Amino acid sequence: MPLKSHRYSLGARLFLTAAICCALVLMLAGIGLTTFYRRSAERGFDERLSVYIKELVADLAAPPEAERQAIGDLGEPRFDLPLSGWYWQIIRLDGEKPTIRSSRSLVGGQLPKLLDQQLTPNARGLRETYVSGPDDRALRVLEREIDVGEDGRFTVAVGAPADEIDGDIRDFRFALTLTFVLLGLALVASTLIQVRFGLRPLVRLGTAVGAVRTGEAPRIAGQYPPDLAPLAGELNQLIDANREILERARTQVGNLAHALKTPLSVMLNEAEAGGRARCPTW
């Protein structure tokens, strides 16, 4: 009964398995690297905003009232452009009516107070999150609460457009995707070469077995890798064993034929003699 062949060849199964594994590894690596880069980009962006917060805190804690009136001179023109996305805001918390100072870019608007959102400060005492700005743009906002003693308690917040972070991440994701696509194609090509090269001895072994079956060769010849050499040796032993069995069967058939030849001759002679005895002599 002929054996049924599988739908996929061994080479195709090896190639598909390797290609799928490569795709999964590259996909997971891409997700991990993108997540890591996002966090790194956020830390770098927060570092820029925290510098402005430190300058505002330093101006706010300045003893002379005259220096305190100059709060907000951060050397960044975008804090003066209306709705530029770059904003700062200072709110006094312990007054009867909250006193709010803000950058000109807010044009009378106000940033959400992160203190009311129950956000946990980080190790540097900064609250950080994404909020919607006055013009409905996504903002990355950092806020810090400070106590300047008799002058009161304040929250100092600085916000900037989050699309700068998103733009950096998009550029990184595009470069990473392009790199991983090229790397994936190279891995798939190398996998195909490895499969074809690795299965070549197995193809030669199959051809040698076919030559033995058709009588073109008496035995399996040639050199094979260490993992296929035992199989080729076992096949040769099987061929030799079958040949010995065939030779033994031929010998037994010849002996049987020789053993049957003499009795048959005697029986034929007796039959001829008996036939002549019955016939009358004229």
> What's the pLDDT tens digit per position in 228-266?
788 778 887 888 888 888 888 888 777 777 666 666 566
Distance of CA 280 to the CA centre of its chain: 106
Given a cut of 80, whether residue 280 has pLDDT beyond it is no
pLDDT value of position 26: 92
At residue 179 the predicted structure's pLDDT band, cuts being 50, 70 and 90, is very high
**In this structure, are strands 87-92 and 153-161 parallel, antiparallel, or unpaired?**
antiparallel
How far is the CA of 59 from the CAs of 90, 112, 133, in angstroms? 11, 22, 25
Given a cut of 60, whether residue 222 has pLDDT beyond it is yes
Q: What is the mean pLDDT of the chain?
A: 81
**Percentage, residues of the chain above pLDDT 90:** 24
Choose from 146-150, 183-187, 238-242, 272-276 the range with maximum mean pLDDT: 183-187
pLDDT in tens, 76-129: 888 889 988 899 998 888 766 667 788 888 888 888 888 888 888 888 889 999
Q: Is 87 helix (H, G, I), strand (E, B) or coil?
A: strand
Higher pLDDT, 236 or 140: 140
pTM attached to this predicted model: 0.66
pLDDT value of position 209: 80
Longest dimension (CA), the chain: 170
Task: Give a three-class secondary structure readout of 170-230.
Answer: HHHHHHHHHHHHHHHHHHHHHHHHHHHHHHHHHHHHHHHHHHHHHCCCCCCCCCCCCCCHH
DSSP state letter for 91 = E
pLDDT value of position 232: 77
Average pLDDT rounded to a whole number, residues 40-50: 91
